[in-house]
Structure 1
Amino acid sequence: MESGETRLLWQVLQAEMPDLPAELLSAPSSRAAMAEIVDRCAQVTGGLGALAQAVELLRPGSDESARLRELAGQLTPSAGDIDALRGIVGDVVVPDLAELAREATGGPLEWAGEDVVDTYLELFELSADKRSLTPLIFLELVAGRTPAVQDALREWTNRQAALLEVRYELTRFRNERFPRPAVRETLTLMISISEAEDDEDQYLLAAWRQRDPHEWPPPRGPVVRASRANLEAAVDAIVIDAETAWAAHAGDIRVEFLLPHSLLHLPIAEWRTELASAAPIPLTLQYPVIVRSLERMRSPHWHRAWRMRAKRLSLSNSADNLFLLPRERADPLRDFAVLSDERWTAVAIDTPPAGGPAALSDELASVLRTGIPVVVWHRDGTAEAAAEAVRELMGDTPLNELPQRVAEARRDALRDPANAPAHDLVVLWDDPVRVVSATELDLTGTEVEH
């Protein structure tokens, strides 16, 4: 290689392997420089494979690239690789090494090394083809028996598989031998309801329906106008339309109602779906149903605190982080100071405003401003009653399962009406990941379906 190519090669390798020194000891134009590069790469985990890839990048299809790939495939793992492997498995005891080695080779084998690394090296030496998958299969079997080091060991085997160009084969073996349980992914239907400005008995509804669990926000659906008496029917139509679109989805569904404070009193827990049938079913029996704050979503100056507290909830996910905030003791400044303590990730309040154009209540305003993502209340009870219901429902269960537990408890109550802690419980659960823009939230002046 010319000196310029040698320098470039070294820069490419340094980007891939930060452990390499900044400069070569040999002059870039000398043959000694290439020998030094090969020697240094041989001492770094995955170094020869990275060198082969770098040369292929600079000289695609060249003889040098082909020889390096062959060299990488034939050489015993470097000292650095083996030291890294010993560091991972360390003092891990696997009593059935011989059994695992026999399974890896697929034939009779009367021996095994003294430990994982020795057995791996013996299998490597016995392999006529140094690209053989057998030694890596042995380590995959060990990983399956040693959960404490499983991730690190599989990361090591992934690097070796890439070096030997057998990554696909290793992944296929891993998936067949250790299939992962299918994950039931959840799709969200968020329904916004707000008062129409031109008629106090009219409401505007819009929905955001996920098509992919990793997509947010999805496109907003059409805006629908409905009277107070027809709100339940309008929601029913939105839910049935969503279920029709989700016919091929084999997973869970979550329904969220995005409401201004003046509509938090709406009897969502009593609304039903399939109203045209002989036996309509309450939404809360079919889905985890939560409410969300339209004021918070419309107030970006509250979002930083909201995101911080939501992160805290993910780290400290216990019903012990629930604070009681009865209305008769409400003092906006005191409440703000108390709720600013980051340990509080959920708050129980008294019944929210009964509706109308009144300003946001002091206690709810304090909760939203401090960023607390979870608020619970009883429709006809007190903050104490709501907190007691949450603790009875959750026990030692993580708090982030509260919406699901409430849905399960409501179904249980049909079987045993005497056990109904969640019957009148309302959960406001605001996830800062699922927000939509102010433009999307503005339903006024848009095309309306009657």
Structure 2
Amino acid sequence: MAADGNREVTGVEGRSPARVRNELVAEVVDVLQDSPTMRHSTSADLLVTMLGQELGHPLELSRSEMLRPWLLQLVEQCARFPDGLPCLVRCLGYVEQQSTGVTTLQRLVDEWEAVDFFDGTDVRSLRPILEEMRSSVALTAMVRRASRSRIQELPPWCDTGWAIFLRLAGDNSVAGELPVSMAFLSLAAELLMEDGNARVAEQLRRWNRRQAGIWGLEDQMAEWQRTDVIRPSLSPVPAYLMIQFEPDGVDPDRYYLSHWLAHWRPSDAAGWHPLPGETLHLHRDELRSKVEQLVEQTEERWWDLRQPVVLEFILPWELLNEPVEWWHKEADSASPIPLVMDYAVLLRSLERLRRVAWHRPWHNRWRQFKEQPADSHAYWNHPGQSHFHLERELKEDERAVCLVLSEPPNGESSSSRQEFLAALRAGIPAMVWHRSDCSDPAFKEAVADIVQDRGLSGLLERTTRWRREALAMGPEGWDDHVGRHLAILLDDPDRKPGPPPSARAPVPR
């Protein structure tokens, strides 16, 4: 997207804008030619149909015996739509997931949008310098500074300074500020100077000064250079590491482990942008150690993050009672610590996430919970109550947003399954239980505090306080404290991960 629609196109040094565009089209076609999806007519036709549906306009392509002319037609038609090329890559990703070709195309689409943003200016002259910048820690910190913390994470294919610059150039800039991509270049030059690479640092600065002059941004450039060292204040909005376990569907002891890194962006109307990581196929016995690795890798990636971090486990029915908040960090050390010492830990239901027919009541209850917390309350279920009447009463009581379970979710207990199912179908977003004995008087005392009458807005904070009391007793004594056995499910329908990589999870019956 261009920063100024009235700007004159001046031509790229040695290459006209039309030539630059055509070269990028040819590179996109090169990648598509190697795609197994595009080499087979059936899968290619399916992709074109999906593409037309997403664009809201069917694509009219003339069949050719040769693949390349047909692909050129496809790319040219997509390029006429504002979101056409990103949509093409998305649809190919539905079929091939994160194949090498999809990743390459994502980088090319970012370059296409950067060329459009800087139309008439040679961006490829920056490539040899920025491609050598590969420190993920330093680059992530630079992105946050350049965007004034509006951008916290970037897609996984942004693994060099060049890929990041292209991605940032395609983003909208805030009126009155230096474009984020140019602020990033300024920081890149600063880093190169610190590393003793004064000559290439000056090339970036010269390019930036020239572009600021073309766009009349000299004042914004000067303002940025005066203020870019100011650190953002501590944000109360947390960052999230979302970890999902999905049953294999064939082998009951194997699971797909997926994860997402996510932030709320208050300045962004969409707000929520989870970025997916790699999906792994693991034996159940491997889940703990892999979660430990994910947490450590996330801490390394977020080393300069100033806001709190929340861990969310999206669990299927059979793992719902697993005490994941007490799994360890640094288990190979002499003094491993439980996750709950460093993080607020929440549970979520994989079955609800996948069963879209349950989402309308879920959204309605969540609005009640967020907009009128003082008028919301918990419902205490009692052992032996009919699950039919439990669901009926929950659905009649629109202010009930939290269910205190009468027994822990047990994979082999039909009554606990029916109780949980009643809550899901009624849209109840929060559930609390004791991991072994929901009739324990200490549990009832703790829950009375957690779901107290003054409202449920502090549900997570009060649960965390009870867990900290258990932690204070140390490993030798915390098993005797109720905080060690508290489980809380808190499902926010506005905070969903990305599309699932594999088959739908089974629904508890």
Tell me if structure 1 keeps the 8 A contact 2:403–2:423. Answer: yes
* Cα shift at 1:287: 0.9
Query: Are 1:424 and 2:485 counterparts?
Result: yes
- Root mean square deviation of aligned Cα: 2.9
Q: How does 1:81-230 map to 2 (within 5 A)?
A: 183-211=235-263, 213-214=265-266, 215-230=271-286
TM-score, normalising length: structure 2: 0.47
Matching residue within 343, 368, 373 for 1:312: 368
The sequence identity of aligned pairs, in percent, is 30
Tell me the SS of whatever aligns to 1:232. Answer: helix
Provide Cα deviations, 1:110-148, integer angstroms capped at 9, x if missing partner.
xxxxxxxxxxxxxxxxxxxxxxxxxxxxxxxxxxxxxxx
Provide Cα deviations, 1:35-87, integer angstroms capped at 9, x if missing partner.
xxxxxxxxxxxxxxxxxxxxxxxxxxxxxxxxxxxxxxxxxxxxxxxxxxxxx
Matching residue within 364, 378, 387 for 2:420: 364
> How many residue pairs align between the two structures?
263
Between the aligned partners of 1:318 and 1:377, the Cα distance in structure 2 is 22
Query: Are 1:234 and 2:286 counterparts?
Result: no
TM-score, normalising length: structure 1: 0.53
Tell me if structure 2 keeps the 8 A contact 1:264–1:352. Answer: no
Query: Are 1:274 and 2:330 counterparts?
Result: yes
Q: Identify the residue that residue 302 of structure 1 maps to in structure 2.
A: 358
* Cα shift at 1:319: 9.7
Distance 1:391-1:420 versus aligned 2 partners, 3 A rule: same
Q: Identify the residue that residue 384 of structure 2 maps to in structure 1.
A: 328
* Cα shift at 1:406: 2.1
Between the aligned partners of 1:323 and 1:397, the Cα distance in structure 2 is 14
Q: Residue 339 of structure 1 aligns to which amino acid in structure 2?
A: L
Between the aligned partners of 1:213 and 1:374, the Cα distance in structure 2 is 24
* Cα shift at 1:242: 1.3
* Cα shift at 1:375: 0.6
Q: Residue 500 of structure 2 aligns to which amino acid in structure 1?
A: L
Tell me the SS of whatever aligns to 1:338. Answer: helix
In the alignment, structure 1 segments of 5+ residues that lack a partner are: 1-179, 446-450
Tell me if structure 2 keeps the 8 A contact 1:321–1:343. Answer: yes
Query: Are 1:390 and 2:447 counterparts?
Result: yes
Matching residue within 302, 320, 324 for 1:246: 302
In the alignment, structure 2 segments of 5+ residues that lack a partner are: 1-231, 505-509
Between the aligned partners of 1:191 and 1:319, the Cα distance in structure 2 is 32
Between the aligned partners of 1:383 and 1:315, the Cα distance in structure 2 is 32
Tell me the SS of whatever aligns to 2:494. Answer: coil
Between the aligned partners of 1:444 and 1:312, the Cα distance in structure 2 is 32
Distance 1:389-1:184 versus aligned 2 partners, 3 A rule: same
Q: Residue 338 of structure 1 aligns to which amino acid in structure 2?
A: E
Q: Identify the residue that residue 411 of structure 1 maps to in structure 2.
A: 468
Q: Residue 191 of structure 1 aligns to which amino acid in structure 2?
A: I
Q: Identify the residue that residue 443 of structure 1 maps to in structure 2.
A: 502
* Cα shift at 1:268: 1.2
Tell me if structure 2 keeps the 8 A contact 1:264–1:353. Answer: yes
Distance 1:275-1:319 versus aligned 2 partners, 3 A rule: farther
Tell me if structure 1 keeps the 8 A contact 2:264–2:273. Answer: no
Distance 1:396-1:328 versus aligned 2 partners, 3 A rule: closer
* Cα shift at 1:384: 7.3
Distance 1:337-1:204 versus aligned 2 partners, 3 A rule: same
Tell me the SS of whatever aligns to 2:458. Answer: helix
Structure 1 range deviating more: 403-412 or 249-258: 403-412
Q: Identify the residue that residue 394 of structure 2 maps to in structure 1.
A: 339
Distance 1:209-1:184 versus aligned 2 partners, 3 A rule: same
Distance 1:211-1:312 versus aligned 2 partners, 3 A rule: closer
Between the aligned partners of 1:394 and 1:343, the Cα distance in structure 2 is 13
Matching residue within 256, 266, 276 for 2:312: 256
Provide Cα deviations, 1:193-230, integer angstroms capped at 9, x if missing partner.
12223422222111011155455241211112222222
Distance 1:356-1:205 versus aligned 2 partners, 3 A rule: farther
Distance 1:343-1:212 versus aligned 2 partners, 3 A rule: closer
Tell me if structure 2 keeps the 8 A contact 1:336–1:370. Answer: yes
Between the aligned partners of 2:404 and 2:243, the Cα distance in structure 1 is 24
Tell me if structure 2 keeps the 8 A contact 1:285–1:411. Answer: yes
Distance 1:305-1:211 versus aligned 2 partners, 3 A rule: closer
Distance 1:383-1:306 versus aligned 2 partners, 3 A rule: farther
